[in-house]
Structure 1
Amino acid sequence: MKLDHLNLSVEDVAATQTFLQKYFGLRSVGQGGVNMAFLSDDNHSVITLMKAKNVRYPDSFHIGFVQPGVEQVNALYQRLKDDGVDVPPPQKLHGSWTFYVPSPGGFTIEVQCWLGQ
């Protein structure tokens, strides 16, 4: 079985879409006006962004992007920092090299690579 899509409610569809495309390589695969956007990853899974009001995700909620290695995690971290995004530095956590970044959509994104595999 393959995950087809994940729907995320966000207050600002355009800003969230731009952020996910710019930093995480997602591609637009459709638009539902200003209220919806459909983004796809390299495995053809889709993230649907749906406009909503007063969105509040639980503190532990996040989506994750796995990188091939420490260098890629560090490079993405540095790119975000250079662009003025407030993001704490990567750290060794649960067997991975990881950092978390808040998205414009109000949810957290984890960037990691697994260590020792």
Structure 2
Amino acid sequence: MKLNHIDLQVPDVQCTATFFEHFFDFEHTSNRASPAIAILTDREGLVLVLQRLKSPTEKYPEGFHIGFLVDDESTVLGFQERARAEGLEVSDVIRNNRGTMVYCKAPGELLVEVNASPRAR
């Protein structure tokens, strides 16, 4: 069985889609003008569906996040530098037994992890 897609509910569909296109090289495959839904792909088989949040009071639980695994620590550091330079809220670098990682806030307060795991090498 293979994970096919992830569907996230976000307050601003197009703003969040632009974030994933810009920082993670996703490709928009749906009607770019729709305020209600965006369908993106990572070109490796994963589809990211973004749908407009139905109630503005709904929030993801504390600690909920999505993660991107990268090949090496320099990619994590480069992401952190780029994201900070572009005004995103980005954590300090965290190094532990799970790897080297940073967390940032995507539009809509969606937490995103970028991690170079020692097990992935």
Tell me the TM-score normalized by structure 2.
0.89
Amino acid at match of 1:20: F
| Cα distance, 1:31 vs structure 2 | 2.8
Q: How many residues align?
A: 117
SS in 1 for 2:83: helix
Residue 23 of structure 2 is matched in structure 1 by 23
Amino acid at match of 1:76: F
CA contact (8 A) 1:16 1:105 kept: yes
What is the RMSD computed on CA atoms of the aligned residues? 1.5
- Where is the helix percentage greater, Structure 1 or Structure 2? 2
CA contact (8 A) 1:13 1:105 kept: no
**CA distance in structure 2 between the partners assigned to 1:23 and 1:48 by the alignment:** 16
Residue 5 of structure 1 is matched in structure 2 by 5
Residue 78 of structure 2 is matched in structure 1 by 75
Percent of counterpart pairs with the same letter?
A: 28
**CA distance in structure 2 between the partners assigned to 1:3 and 1:56 by the alignment:** 24
CA contact (8 A) 2:40 2:47 kept: yes
Q: Does 1:91 align with 2:90?
A: no
**CA distance in structure 2 between the partners assigned to 1:102 and 1:92 by the alignment:** 19
**CA distance in structure 2 between the partners assigned to 1:37 and 1:49 by the alignment:** 5
**CA distance in structure 1 between the partners assigned to 2:69 and 2:88 by the alignment:** 20
Q: Which runs of 5+ in 2 are unaligned?
A: none
SS in 1 for 2:82: helix
Segment of structure 1 superposing worse, 22-31 or 72-81: 22-31
Post-superposition Cα deviations, 1:36-81, rounded to whole Å, max 9, x if no partner, equal 0001113221110000132300011110001110011100110001
Q: Does 1:102 align with 2:105?
A: yes
Runs of 4+ in structure 1 displaced over 6 angstroms? none
Tell me the TM-score normalized by structure 1.
0.92
